[in-house]
């Protein structure tokens, strides 16, 4: 309640659902992504329900933009309680397709974007000796599957950043959490360009979670008492296989 949370990738899917969840629970939500129209629509939806949100157009591949996002949150609300590094891409393909551009984009958003999010809030949280950094990894950050090799690598990295940071911050009150969802029905698979992969991941009949299921897991981690850190959550559809 009343927590200030920055959410990257707030313009759709898990980020959007998490924004609505925190706003309903009384949080002050800072919505970040590239698509301003989507952020504006979400802000209005949250306000119509009596919640509080502001928007900041941000490309997480730019450190200066992520820094400005953190400064904007502090200027607006005085503090950052939770940083949710959630923006991500999953253009799956077999490695021998050599989709170098897509590898670059996954590394830029899924790896460097997370590091920039950490860097932008860490000094502020250390100064207050309080705060919580939450990052969306994946079950692919625990197990690699064919066509998901590069994506998995980025999600292993994201999870290890949270684990290592948690150890480095062990003497502080700052918490870290890695959220690893299984399949979630969002727009993520729509950006797959490999025709050998795309139909399988866009099949609406594969067992999947809703974005709200993941938002509930994020909220669970963020709403624990001061002395309790939930460092890792794996949340999967019961029959994902
Ligand atoms: O996907 P989607 P999800 N700068 O496509 C944003 C992970 N995950 O909600 O910039 C800033 O609806 C983009 O915003 P925009 C996944 O890896 C998912 O499923 O306006 N933001 C949009 O809001 C990812 O880390 C599944 O285009 C950027 C958001 O990212 C997280 O969940 C399973 C950006 C993507 O929303 C959320 O993805 C799993 C940039 N440069 C993990 N580039 C799953 N869906 O099955 C993109 O294990 N975004």
Cα of 88 vs centre of ligand 1, distance in Å, is 4
Residue 240 predicted with pLDDT over 80:
no
pLDDT, tens digit (0-9, with 9 covering 90-100), for 8-63: 999 999 999 999 999 999 999 999 999 999 999 999 999 999 999 999 999 999 99
How many angstroms separate the most distant Cα atoms in the chain? 50
The separation between the first and the last C-alpha atoms of the chain, rounded to the nearest angstrom, is 36
- pLDDT at residue 142 above 70? yes
Strand-pair category, 131-136 with 82-85: parallel
The C-alpha atoms of residue 178 and residue 77 are separated, in whole angstroms, by 25
Take atom 22 of ligand 1 and give the residue whose Cα is closest. 9
Distance CA 128, CA 22 (A): 22
User: What pLDDT does residue 205 have?
Assistant: 87
d(CA 173, CA 132): 9
The Cβ of residue 136 has, within 10 Å, a number of other Cβ atoms equal to 29
Q: What is the pLDDT averaged over residues 121-137?
A: 98
Alpha helices in the chain (DSSP H): 13-24, 36-48, 63-77, 100-106, 113-128, 149-168, 198-202, 211-222
Q: Closest residue (by CA) to atom 42 of ligand 1?
A: 138
User: Which residue from 186, 217, 237 has its CB within 8 A of the most atoms of ligand 1, so it is best to mutate?
Assistant: 186
Q: Ligand 1 within 6 A of 181 CB?
A: yes
pLDDT digits (tens, 9 = 90+) for 184-220: 999 999 999 999 888 888 888 889 999 999 999 999 9
Q: Which residues are identified as catalytic?
A: 151
Which atom of ligand 1 lies at the shortest distance from residue 191's CA?
A: 5
Q: How far apart are CA 24 and CA 28, in angstroms?
A: 10
Burial class (CB in 10 A: 0-12, 13-18, 19+), 72: middle
Q: What would the CATH number be for the domain defined by 4-235?
A: 3.40.50.720
């Amino acid at each position: 309640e009343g927590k200030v949370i920055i959410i990257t990738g707030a313009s759709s899917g898990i980020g959007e659902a998490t924004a609505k969840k925190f706003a309903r629970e009384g949080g002050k939500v800072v919505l970040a992504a590239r698509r301003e129209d989507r952020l504006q629509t979400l802000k209005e939806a949250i306000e119509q329900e009596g919640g509080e949100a502001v928007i900041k157009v941000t490309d997480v591949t730019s450190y200066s933009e992520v820094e400005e996002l953190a400064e904007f949150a502090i200027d607006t609300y005085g503090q950052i309680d939770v940083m949710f590094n959630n923006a991500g891409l999953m253009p799956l393909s077999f490695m021998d397709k050599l989709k170098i551009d897509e590898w670059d984009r996954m590394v830029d958003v899924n790896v460097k974007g997370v590091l920039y999010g950490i860097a932008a809030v860490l000094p502020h949280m250390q100064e207050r000796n309080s705060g919580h950094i939450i990052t969306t990894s994946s079950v692919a950050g625990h197990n690699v599957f064919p066509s998901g090799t590069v994506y998995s690598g980025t999600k292993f990295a994201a999870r290890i950043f949270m684990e290592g940071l948690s150890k480095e911050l062990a003497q502080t009150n700052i918490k870290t959490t890695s959220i690893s969802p299984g399949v979630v029905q969002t727009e993520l698979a729509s950006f797959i360009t490999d025709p050998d992969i795309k139909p399988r991941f866009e099949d609406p009949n594969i067992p999947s979670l809703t974005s709200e299921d993941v938002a509930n897991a994020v909220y669970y981690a963020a709403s624990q008492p001061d002395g309790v850190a939930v460092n890792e959550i794996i949340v999967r559809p019961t029959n994902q296989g």
